[in-house]
Amino acid sequence: MSLIEINDLSVEFHTGEDSVKAVSHASFDIKEGETFGLIGESGSGKSVIGLAILRLLPTNAEVSGNIFFQGQDIFSIKPSELRKIRGKHIALMPQNPAGSLNPVLKNGLQIKEVYEERGIDKKEGIKKALKLMEKLLLKDPEKLLDLYPHQLSGGMRQRLIACMSLSFEPELLIADEPTKGLDPEAKAGAVDLFTKIKKEYGKTMLLITHDLDLALEVCDRIAVMYAGEIVELDEASKVLSEPLHPYTRGLIRAHPRNGLVPLIGQSPSRIRLPEGCFFHERCKNSGFECSRQHPEMKTHNGGWIRCHFQSLQ
Amino acid sequence: MNYFVKRVGFMAITVFAVCALTFFLVNLIPGGTAELIIKHTIVGIEDSVTKEQLEQISSRYNLNDPLYLQFYTWVKKAILTGDIGTSYVFKKPVLYLLALRLPATIQLAGASMVLAAVAGISLGIYSALRENQLSDHILRVATLFGVSMPGFWVALILILIFSLKLKLVPVSGYGNLENLFLPAVALSLHSVAAVMRITRTCMLETMGQEYIMFAKSKGLPMWKIVSRHALKNAMLPIVTVIGFQMGSLLGGAVVIEKIFAWPGIGSLLVDSISARDLPMIQGCVLAIVTMFLVVNFIVDIIYTHLDPRIRYG
């Protein structure tokens, strides 16, 4: 049973005369209890999908396709209904914990307000939050409530944000690049945190990351994105150990552990996308067809792949 | 604490510099001081002045001393006894006369400042939330008019419409609320526009921050996001502008008070300048400068309450 279904989602940002195609025709579903990973390089459209699910995209974004959450069409519900879903049923763990906490409000207030909105008594809310903070390895939680965000370390801020996002044990947690910008020690801490969240809450999670280690550690299935498209989708272990799409292969070879072999070239301009396969200009296996015809998603050995590559057939 | 001592010291230096500047500038105005004093106090403006009268007045007020000595005597007396002189025209201590006129000016400038803050901030927020919609454009054009129209001209137009045509409020006078209405509106119009502009800009910038998006993802209603998360962050530059507007309000009050026969320091200053009533001019300038400095000192204290990251030491 899938908890959320994303059908043919496209997002374009209009900036003056041009429009940037951030996401093109992305479709996938996340099953109940599953941890689904969206991986890809920066700017591949991963985060945009995360924000689209909560309708948090800026006003200059043009969205098409639809998203069904527990059967509800997210794009057509009223704002008041949407508010009820946000934070309670679908919660976001934003990237950049430093920028996501309000610098002029005390940590306590920023935690409390999540409960306050649902009519939960302040004291009750604080009690719940403290319990959650202790669970998520935050020391001296009571002291933290009286401090401001700038008085915390990066790792602490991230845990604090995790507390806010998990307040209601949401059915779906969207974690957007949780390891971005963290030092190695905090990164290891984040991996612990997510395995803990997964184990203790067992909730459905959409993990948006370019950290392949984290993805392998916690994800059940993975979708690889390139230039706004999903190019490969399969079980995490399959994608990361026997990648099929040339881009995924390049991505994995570029990992420091696998020799840090960079992918040659750059991802295409999203204002004018290349004809044919978006990846063909950088692809070693690129053939005649690749520069002419845009590949469609095809099933392959139980997974999905978007590639003309001959050996796959 | 150290900061406060430094700050007060700095204010004292500013007050001294302004007093010195005023003293020497007033003495640069062509025409004999003694002659003008006699014309304003003993004989009529059109009458001629005798040599005996000139000598008598000059020696009574030490006008034959070199300027620096006159200034030194005034400063010494002011610091040692707190006596900042006696008005040549009214023959009463300057401090007493100031105390008589100060409440009216504080009332007018205070009302205008409150009007500028309340109207400016709320219109600015409204405009920012309706960015690029029709109401935003109308308000922006209106601010352009607001900052371009001189206060004294607005005052005359307001009198024409509200007093003479509609007969809603009296043309001039002092004492009750309906007297305050026109001068306060005329005086504050410029500041309302200035505060509105900065509020719009700052709100737009703040509303694009990541912490606003995160607050939305928590399911908070819009009014809470604006009032709690956005406004407090946007407030810093707004408060700065309001503080600086105090200068233009006090300056504008000089003319506006004259137009509406408002018995404040502004109109007293204008009268004193034409009578060359030096101690009175000094007193008025001293009062105005002190008010401006105190307001900006308060603004700096408000800073630390608005943004916990700011600490003076």
Min distance B308 CA to chain A CA atoms (Å):
6
- Domain boundary, last residue among B46, B77, B94: B94
Q: Do B87 and B124 belong to one domain?
A: no
Name residue B8's amino acid: V
- Write down the pLDDT at residue A289: 85
Q: Does A205 touch chain B (CB under 8 A)?
A: no
Assess whether B199 and B57 both reside in one domain: no
Angle at B98 between CA B94 and CA B101, to 5 degrees: 145
The pTM (predicted TM-score) of the whole model is 0.83
Does B30 contact chain A (CB < 8 Å)? Answer: no
Distance from C-alpha of B177 to C-alpha of A278, rounded to nearest angstrom: 71
Q: Do B216 and A58 touch (CB under 8 A)?
A: no
Mean pLDDT is lowest, of A35-39, A103-107, A151-155, B159-163, for: A151-155
In a domain, B115, yes or no: yes
Residue A284 tokens read as: 């070693």
CA dist A76 and A84 (Å) reads 14
Question: Are B7 and B103 in the same domain?
Answer: no
Domain ends where: B94, B118, B139?
A: B94
Tokens of B246: 């105090």
Put simply, the chain B residues between 206 and 245 with a CB less than 8 A from any chain A CB are 208-211, 213-221, 224, 228-229, 232-233
| pLDDT classification of B313: cutoffs 50, 70, 90 | low
Complex confidence, ipTM: 0.90
Residue corresponding to tokens 């304003």: B40
In terms of domains, do B86 and B100 share one? no
Q: How confident is the model at residue A96 (pLDDT cuts 50, 70, 90)?
A: confident
Strand partners, A209: A39
Question: How do residues A67-86 score in pLDDT, each as one tens digit?
Answer: 999 989 999 999 999 999 99
pLDDT tens by residue, B212-269: 999 999 999 999 999 999 999 999 899 989 988 988 888 888 889 888 888 889 889 9
Residue that wins the pLDDT comparison between B282 and B55: B282
Query: What is the nearest CA distance from A257 to chain B, expressed in angstroms?
Result: 33
Q: B112 with B135, same domain?
A: yes
Give the residue-averaged pLDDT of B157-176: 85
Looking at the complex, report in whole angstroms how far the Cα of residue B239 sits from the nearest Cα belonging to chain A: 15
**Matching residue, tokens 């307040």:** A167
Instruction: Give the closest of A58, A86, A150 to B218, CB-based.
Output: A86
Is the pLDDT assigned to residue A310 strictly greater than 70?
no
B145 and B52 in a common domain: no
Tell me, yes or no, whether B313 lies in a domain.
no
Q: Are residues B67 and B131 in the same domain?
A: no
B232 occurs within a structural domain: yes
Q: Are residues B81 and B115 in the same domain?
A: no
Residue B312 lies in a domain: no
CB contact under 8 A, B211 and A99: yes
Query: Structurally, how many domains does chain B consist of?
Result: 2
Claim to verify: residue B69 and residue B166 sit in the same structural domain: no
> Is B311 contained in some domain?
no
Name the B residues in 78-107 with CB < 8 Å from any A CB: none
**Alpha-carbon A112 to chain mean position:** 25
Question: CB distance A117–B210 less than 8 Å?
Answer: no
| Inside any domain, residue B199 | yes
Report the mean per-residue pLDDT for chain A. 87
| pLDDT of A266 above 90 | no
CATH number assigned to the domain comprising residue B203: 1.10.3720.10
Residue B201's domain comprises 96-306
Q: Which amino acid is at B219?
A: G
B250 in the same domain as B142: yes
Work out the pLDDT band at A288, boundaries 50, 70, 90.
confident
How far apart, in Å, do the first and last CA atoms of chain A sit?
A: 30
| Higher pLDDT pick, B232 / B2 | B232
Report the residue of chain A nearest B307, measured CA to CA.
Answer: A104
pLDDT exceeds cutoff 50 at A313:
no
Q: Which of B75, B94, B113 is the last residue of a domain?
A: B94
User: Which of A167-181, B33-47, B100-114: highest mean pLDDT?
Assistant: B100-114
Task: Give the per-residue pLDDT at A57.
Answer: 92
| B213–A114 CB contact, under 8 Å | no
Given an 8 Å threshold on Cβ–Cβ distance, is B308 in contact with A54?
no
Q: Is residue B128 part of a domain?
A: yes
Query: In the numeric block, which tokens belong to residue A204?
Result: 């459905």
Contacts 24+ apart (CB under 8 A), A190-193: A190/A155, A190/A158, A190/A214, A191/A217, A191/A218, A192/A137, A193/A136, A193/A137, A193/A158, A193/A159, A193/A162
Query: Looking at the complex, does the CB of residue B310 fall below 8 Å from at least one CB of chain A?
Result: no
B78 and B7 within one domain: yes
Has residue B161 been placed in a domain? yes
Q: Are residues B139 and B275 in the same domain?
A: yes
A300: β partners: A303
